[in-house]
Amino acid sequence: MEIALLNKIVRKAGIKNVTSLKRISSGRNNLVFEINGRYILRLNTAFDSDFFKESEVSMQLKGVNVPKLIYRDFSKSISPHDIVITVKIEGKTLAEKWLDYDDYRKKESIRQLALGLEKIHNQKIGDFAFLFNKTAWTEKIHNYILDC
């Protein structure tokens, strides 16, 4: 990823005084960067991005610890990828800690995840039917293969 493009994205997002911009190795479908130790920049490199859906829903969630959205751009005018910038949530990922946990801590982590999912499930938020393409996933994959 070109540093000039990353700097252009960060400036467009209104983040000033960039002192550090480093690539984070995690991210299955995304290029992920940390900005100033405070923000996370994600560029979707998959053929079928869910960034728009994710950002629409996360902006309406209340009482759920999700990263605060700072900037999003799906126009592909700056980058060939969808762009999302959020505030970084401090801490280790569950994947980093899981093997160190005893059985009790693993069960407690699963319980906490279930409680978080319950909070999301019980949210009173707008109608998001417009976010979901009615095309079956298998058809999407088939069409993607045909386009290759």
pTM: 0.73
Query: In this prediction, what percent of the chain has a pLDDT beyond 90?
Result: 26
Split at pLDDT 50, 70, 90, the class of 107 is very high
Positive or negative torsion for Cα 50, 56, 62, 66: positive
Q: What are phi and psi of 7, to 5 degrees?
A: -65, -40
Please name every residue paired with 82 in a beta bridge, in sequence order, or none if there are none.
44
pLDDT band at 104 (very low <50, low <70, confident <90, very high): very high
What is the residue whose two structure tokens read 């093997």? Answer: 99
Specify whether the CB–CB gap between 87 and 67 falls below 8 A. Answer: yes
Phi and psi (nearest 5°) for 138? -65, -35
pLDDT at residue 60, rounded to an integer: 80
Query: Does the structure show a pLDDT above 90 at 102?
Result: yes
What is the distance between the alpha carbons of residues 20 and 32, in angstroms, rounded to a whole number? 14
Count the neighbouring beta carbons within 10 Å of the beta carbon of residue 83: 20
pLDDT at position 39 over 70: yes
